[in-house]
Structure 1
Amino acid sequence: MSLKWYSDPKPEQFKNPAAAFRLNALDDLLTSPDQPSADEIWWLAALEFGTNKDGSPRSLEEFMDWIPSQFIDQLFVPPEYYYPDSLLETETNSVTVVAQRALLNLINQVDSDAPVSMLDLGGVASPDMLRYFRDGPELNLRHIHEQLPEGAAVIAVIDSGIAVGHNLFRKRGSGTALDKTRVAFLWNMDGATTPSSPPQHWFRSGIDTLLALNMHEDHLDEATFYAQIGLIDWPRHGLNPVAHRISHGTHVMGLAAGLEPKDADLLDKRPIIAVQLPTNLVRDVSGANMSPAIKQALQFIRRAAKRFTIGLTSNRPPVVVNFSFGDFSGPHDGTGKMAEVLGKGFKSSSTNIRAVVLPSGNGNLSRCHAQVDLTARYPRADLNWRVQPEDLTVSSVEIWLPKSAAVPPVGSISLSVDHPAIAHSVTVECVPGAKAHLTAKDGTKIGHVSFTGPLHPTLRSRFTISIRPTAAADRIVALAPAGVWRLTLELGQSADDLRLEAWIARDETLPGFPDFGRQSYFDNSDYVRFYRPGVAVSPFDLPALIGKPLSYDPADPGLVRRAGTISGFACASAPAVLAGIVQPDRTIAAYSSGGPTDNPDRMGPDASATTDDSPVLAGVLSAGSNSGSLVAMRGTSVAAPQAVRWIAAELRPSKHDGRTLIRDMATSHPKLPEVRAGKGHMNVDPPFGSQRRPRPEA
């Protein structure tokens, strides 16, 4: 008898396994009568080019030369990379593109010779977005030159639902009406791109013209104004945040830059750059789709910021950027894609961006983080991942190994995934590229599990579990079962002890948005949600009342942790990160996330600001969508813009960056542990509604 030896093919390893799953495993959810082929779908993507072997940076030009001829029609690069302003240093070591999946799959393979070190997948490109990338006109800012007075600072806001016509963002012209805007530049990324549509880019002169056209008896016809500027467009969008009573971006920008006529000395010193994100992008709260658009937004802010000078000098005013978004997933060490994008937001020699300010996140009680220590004595651990019914989105978990450039030895760690409603459990070993499909009992593929080795810049291996939605509103498709998925981590017999960190991707429906995601969470029985007699609570949770929700891990916390739930966006070293506190006794808000992180330069947030006026008066007041209105909103999203407002006033006389400034001015307090509140409370009040909140003596 003769024997034949066959070598197993090398497993296909993707730089971004979650992107590979979304590109290739959801065809029935992505196709429709209007879009019959998933191969023809256009995706928004961010590409990082990395470096050559000699250390020199790779570039967009190298990438364009590399693209195989059969794929050249499957990619478009936006116009800003081809029509830079004369002073613009275009960042060509990374780029945002729209592309089709055949090319993206090729780029995403670890063994590909593409000059791309990392791919981050955004959402499906809308027809308007595709037209902008394919046919967008040159954005020419060279004719604009804004002279600002001494002491000025530019405030930039990236958000959704920004009512730029609110009276807090206007000033008086020659008469009594507030008919002049303080918004010097606006990019409505959600705008249409047809020839008959309002433009996406607006400058001060164009906004002033619209204000004048819609001003009647010193009052602005806001409905018509927003329709003409493209921020309300009912034929195109079923959801227009600016049309709601409260809109996230308006509230945030009000706290960061809103001024009343009585603030006359500041009206010309705080010009605004606003970037309105696409609504469909914001709807997906996982953050997985975000980085391509944020790279574009920061590029626009850098370009616009160069059009300002102090008087007739060549000196540029400082720029402070607010981005009040967060997520749960990522490595939490500063090397995640969004953390890197935001951390590099002000690395430019010719702009004066001095701070990017972020919230710490609202996931402290979300049960989306687990810490697993595997030892020779306890070599196995089970995580119960509860996926909710009626979830219209993909759910996913990442389990990160410790930092190491080396792949763990084969057999040192494995992950098994099981659920009563699937055909069989699957086990994936720590072999780069190893993966297994999760299948229903009828054989339908409903998810996958994969292992990825260490890749630059995050030199950490990870397991990724992704499953399909548990519901579909408008079609019959394969669905994943809801309920508890058992994730079993097991150490090999001769393996060294390991500490693993697991994070569930954020997945919920935002207030005011149509039903979308429902947040999954870890549901281990040893997680103590509420105080009961006998639980050794943290001293920061005292006094402990029976039934009180605990906002700190008890002395024996189990696998699922509150610690380490800080937003994955907020883990880089450079940005300033704000937590939230409740007045009047200055306790940390129960939802406010904290560290530690795996970045040695960041324990947690840098400082904290007021996010609730009292335990019964939730939130703080700021601009509603309509002029003259103030509404309350809570969350660490409202802490960040208060810091932006303060930093803008302090940067000019200081040579420090914004993060250093707020850490230096924060006031420590016995109820504010540094891992949750940073250096302490910023002793500044929200700018509006002071009658709502009596304050203790400082």
Structure 2
Amino acid sequence: MTWQSLTGTAGAWSGIDWTARAADTASADPYLAWADATQFADLGGMPAGRVRIIIELEAYAPNGTAQSAKSFAEDLEGAHAAWKAWIQVSSLYRYPPADLEPTHFLTAVVTKQFFSELDTTLKGIVKRFELGMPVVPDDLSASAQLPNARTLAVDTGPAFGPASTVAGTNTGATQTVFLGVMDDGLAFAHERFRSTGTPSTTRIERFWNQDDAAGMPPSLHYGSELTKADIDALLARCTLAGQVEEDAVYAQAGYINVRKRWAHGTEVMDLAGGLRPNPLHAASLSQAEQAMRDALKKVRVLGVQFRTAGRTVRDTSGRWFAVHALDAMRYILRCADDLASGAAYCVVLNLSYGYMAGPHDGSSIIESAIDELIDRHHDLSVIVPAGNSNVLRCHASFTLATGASNDITWRALPDCATPGFMELWLPAGADASKVTVQVRTPSGDMSPVIEVNNIVAWQNGRDVACNVVYLDRVATGQRNMIMIALAPTITRQSSRIAASPGNWTVTLTNDTSNSLDIHAWIQRNETAYGFPIRGRQSRFEDPKYKRFVGGMHVRDFDDNNIDSWISRRSTLNSIATGSDTVVVGGYRRTDGTAAAYSSTGPSLRAGVRSGPDATAISEDSPVCAGVLGASTRSGSLVAMSGTSAAAPQVARVLVCAKVLGNAAAIAPHAMPPFTTRDWIRQQANKEDPAPGPGVPHQLGKCPGTAKPPVLPLPAHSWVALLPEVREGKGRFPSPRWKKRGVKL
């Protein structure tokens, strides 16, 4: 194994030298440079045809005319029709709702010729792009290839024609409220998403399954779509003696994503908009609870099944997310616009997903796209979780003095069958030409000094075990970033060499005239639930990092731990640092304390986000982990932990308030704006007032652990408001839980 420079070398698949591009060309995705350098070895091999990407366009074309996703897609059908040989864009972007016509973000399916056109034909048109990690067909188990799946998937994905030119407006209680849920494993036939009448009908208006049949190449309109009428017909065909045979529904739909007992998306959708069908239970509700239940019945649900995480299991980092998430949001917004038929409406989107690495300043391509949608749409709210990486030791933060070097240790775990990634981010305005990096392997092999605009690999012949990508501009953010990628530490292919497990040392040197605040994040490496475990989360290692309080409890705060460069601060989910999204943390119901894993702010964009906007219950008690929600089959419940369970509870509060007219004061484009973020913070403060004369402190302290004692389950007390960086302004009581039972 030797360190070799790949600078000046054309990519194995794209044919592009990513280090030799002019400064006025589109910013490239460093993950594509890594995939090119490794010949897509950890992604199932080089793509045979098209791949899916997300693009941000320049505001103005080279000829000075304003451009948008809509105008770009229209040109592909007109003046630039010849480009369709190497780039195609979905009708989602050609025919957007009226108020989204000026947007600049879109997705496309492209051949490798697209990348050679970036610096010529598309120069001044494309601002930046990211690769949606290729889907590997052989990751889908053979038993999952149902007879109907291929028939349903081919050419049945959503395609749209011209949209209405009338945009609905925010008019308060009279508007139609749409709830959009984008996730994995949405059990659309579950009783919580059906009416209580006979025959039972679905409450879901549209459902898009983004999965294609096994072996299908990337296509323009991918996956399959079910309308409310389609789902109702399936329910009717599969009803026997008044009972819906849900397995038969999914078999006939060719939908395999809910074959497991539990699915992330089913519980998320239940927490956001599910209803108990039992009329006797409904009769026992209080007047306020009944009003909330009645409001939920009026909410119109739209669902999207993300490209199955199991089929992208080689990409446990979540780098597939941006492409499919933007498509999902644009699909829901277009469907809502169509279903509203010109009447006033609003949309609340719950997005219980994310990853850990990124710029954490709101400048990532997907965060910028989400903020643009919220700013342009007349009434759109997007709810995201704070993240679960608070105690994972995946964030490093330190100040690098002028002329100094600093070492950080990255521990790669053995038996990890997926690649690992670390991103080192320089501060805005730093002179990257005077910041260098070196990498030392666990065996002591030191890389050369690596300067900006270089790619270096530790390799044996054609196999790359470590890859350092240091480009002058990256599409993943607006600051300079150094990406270090490790091959899996175990492989099942004799032709593929594994990276060494153990401590990898990264040395950063600052030769600028100013000290630099450096942040580094390790990307998530989590295998989807229900699939064989392949990824093992790597982490930073520092002997000075304090993991426990008094040797007993996990330490979930950084106070008095200033000697370590490993930080719990700024660990927010990488899609949770934008300006306009509502970010929700998690707390424990019995004593009001923050969940140890709930990620901490602030974002790195000064003054925009100090932490989550609010928090909701993600744990019932120390011994009852998680909160209960729907399993994939009616009549069963499963507990789910994490801020992914907290976010949809706040989405539920918001959609009910929208239906009841209690959130009518939200006016996203008013001056000054009173945004959904403002409203959520205000409501959380009402629910969780700071202790004072009227609300005394009810909990003491445990001298040995500095933790409050655990109360009996029926008791509920509040502690003082938590710091903003941990849990936002206040805590929402659950609208769903009473002790351990379902309330609504």
Give yes or no for the alignment of 1:604 onto 2:611: yes
Give yes or no for the alignment of 1:222 onto 2:228: no
Equivalent position to 2:468, from 438, 444, 449? 449
Deviates more, 1:182-191 or 1:60-69: 60-69
- The alpha-carbon deviation at position 510 of structure 1 amounts to 3.0
Question: Contact 1:247–1:624 (CA<8 Å) still a contact in 2?
Answer: yes
Question: Contact 1:383–1:488 (CA<8 Å) still a contact in 2?
Answer: yes
1:48 aligns to what?
56
Deviations 1:185-243 (A, max 9, x none): 1111125399xxx97111111111111111112211011101122322xxxxxxx3x11
The 3 A distance-change label for structure 1 pair 141 and 39 is closer
Amino acid at match of 1:574: D
| 3-state secondary structure, aligned to 1:296 | helix
2:600 aligns to what?
594
- The alpha-carbon deviation at position 268 of structure 1 amounts to 4.0
Distance 1:41 1:304 in 2: 30
Give yes or no for the alignment of 1:400 onto 2:425: yes
Equivalent position to 1:185, from 201, 206, 220? 206
Question: Contact 1:41–1:124 (CA<8 Å) still a contact in 2?
Answer: no
| 3-state secondary structure, aligned to 2:392 | coil
- The alpha-carbon deviation at position 571 of structure 1 amounts to 0.3
Give yes or no for the alignment of 1:118 onto 2:128: yes
Give yes or no for the alignment of 1:434 onto 2:470: no
- The alpha-carbon deviation at position 481 of structure 1 amounts to 1.7
Equivalent position to 1:552, from 551, 557, 561? 557
The 3 A distance-change label for structure 1 pair 527 and 170 is same
Distance 2:344 2:640 in 1: 34
The 3 A distance-change label for structure 1 pair 25 and 400 is same
Amino acid at match of 1:639: A
Distance 1:460 1:374 in 2: 17
1:254 aligns to what?
270
Which residues of 2 match residues 84-483 of structure 1 at below 5 A?
84=95, 89-90=100-101, 93-104=104-115, 107=118, 113=123, 115-125=125-135, 138-139=159-160, 150=174, 152-173=176-197, 175=198, 177=199, 179-192=200-213, 200-232=224-256, 240=257, 242-261=258-277, 262=282, 265-266=294-295, 268-280=297-309, 283=313, 284-309=315-340, 314-349=342-377, 352-353=379-380, 355-376=381-402, 379-404=404-429, 408=431, 410=433, 412-421=434-443, 424-429=446-451, 431=452, 433-440=453-460, 444-454=463-473, 458-474=477-493, 476-483=495-502
Distance 1:444 1:400 in 2: 27
Deviates more, 1:339-348 or 1:513-522: 339-348
- The alpha-carbon deviation at position 352 of structure 1 amounts to 3.2
Question: Contact 1:97–1:133 (CA<8 Å) still a contact in 2?
Answer: no
Deviations 1:450-509 (A, max 9, x none): 3233568943112111222222235531322221111011222x6311111101111122
Equivalent position to 1:576, from 582, 588, 599? 582
The 3 A distance-change label for structure 1 pair 122 and 347 is same
Deviations 1:547-598 (A, max 9, x none): 3211001323311111111111100010100000012110000000010111
Question: Contact 1:582–1:589 (CA<8 Å) still a contact in 2?
Answer: yes
Structure 1 vs Structure 2 CA RMSD: 3.5
2:671 aligns to what?
none
- The alpha-carbon deviation at position 299 of structure 1 amounts to 0.9
Amino acid at match of 1:214: C
| 3-state secondary structure, aligned to 1:588 | coil
Q: Aligned residue pairs: how many?
A: 636
Question: Contact 1:399–1:463 (CA<8 Å) still a contact in 2?
Answer: yes
The 3 A distance-change label for structure 1 pair 98 and 409 is closer
Distance 1:327 1:451 in 2: 21
Deviates more, 1:253-262 or 1:109-118: 109-118
Amino acid at match of 1:550: R
- The alpha-carbon deviation at position 631 of structure 1 amounts to 1.3
| 3-state secondary structure, aligned to 2:55 | strand
Question: Contact 1:564–1:597 (CA<8 Å) still a contact in 2?
Answer: yes
Question: Contact 1:308–1:316 (CA<8 Å) still a contact in 2?
Answer: no
Distance 1:331 1:85 in 2: 29
Equivalent position to 2:572, from 555, 566, 583? 566
- The alpha-carbon deviation at position 401 of structure 1 amounts to 0.9
**TM-score, normalization: structure 2?**
0.78
- The alpha-carbon deviation at position 342 of structure 1 amounts to 2.6
Give yes or no for the alignment of 1:614 onto 2:664: no
Question: Contact 1:149–1:269 (CA<8 Å) still a contact in 2?
Answer: no
Question: Contact 1:316–1:352 (CA<8 Å) still a contact in 2?
Answer: no
| 3-state secondary structure, aligned to 2:580 | coil
Gaps of 5+ in 1: 1-7, 33-37, 233-239, 532-544
Amino acid at match of 1:269: K
- The alpha-carbon deviation at position 546 of structure 1 amounts to 2.7
- The alpha-carbon deviation at position 137 of structure 1 amounts to 7.0
The 3 A distance-change label for structure 1 pair 371 and 423 is closer
| 3-state secondary structure, aligned to 2:332 | helix
Deviations 1:86-145 (A, max 9, x none): 8685566332122233433653x799726211111112146799x9798967346989x9
The 3 A distance-change label for structure 1 pair 291 and 86 is closer
Question: Contact 1:251–1:624 (CA<8 Å) still a contact in 2?
Answer: yes
The 3 A distance-change label for structure 1 pair 445 and 110 is farther
Deviations 1:225-284 (A, max 9, x none): 01122322xxxxxxx3x1111110000000100012336733641110000111136744
**TM-score, normalization: structure 1?**
0.83
Question: Contact 1:587–1:671 (CA<8 Å) still a contact in 2?
Answer: no
The 3 A distance-change label for structure 1 pair 594 and 151 is same
| 3-state secondary structure, aligned to 2:427 | strand
Amino acid at match of 1:631: V
Deviations 1:305-360 (A, max 9, x none): 11344xxx9432221100001211110000112222332333434x532x100000
- The alpha-carbon deviation at position 622 of structure 1 amounts to 1.0
Question: Contact 2:57–2:128 (CA<8 Å) still a contact in 1?
Answer: yes
Amino acid at match of 1:42: R
Seq. identity, %: 30
Amino acid at match of 2:734: D
The 3 A distance-change label for structure 1 pair 650 and 475 is farther
Equivalent position to 2:656, from 643, 646, 649? 649
- The alpha-carbon deviation at position 286 of structure 1 amounts to 1.9
- The alpha-carbon deviation at position 298 of structure 1 amounts to 0.9
Distance 2:100 2:401 in 1: 51
Deviates more, 1:415-424 or 1:618-627: 415-424
Amino acid at match of 2:31: A
Distance 1:402 1:291 in 2: 24
Question: Contact 2:409–2:506 (CA<8 Å) still a contact in 1?
Answer: yes
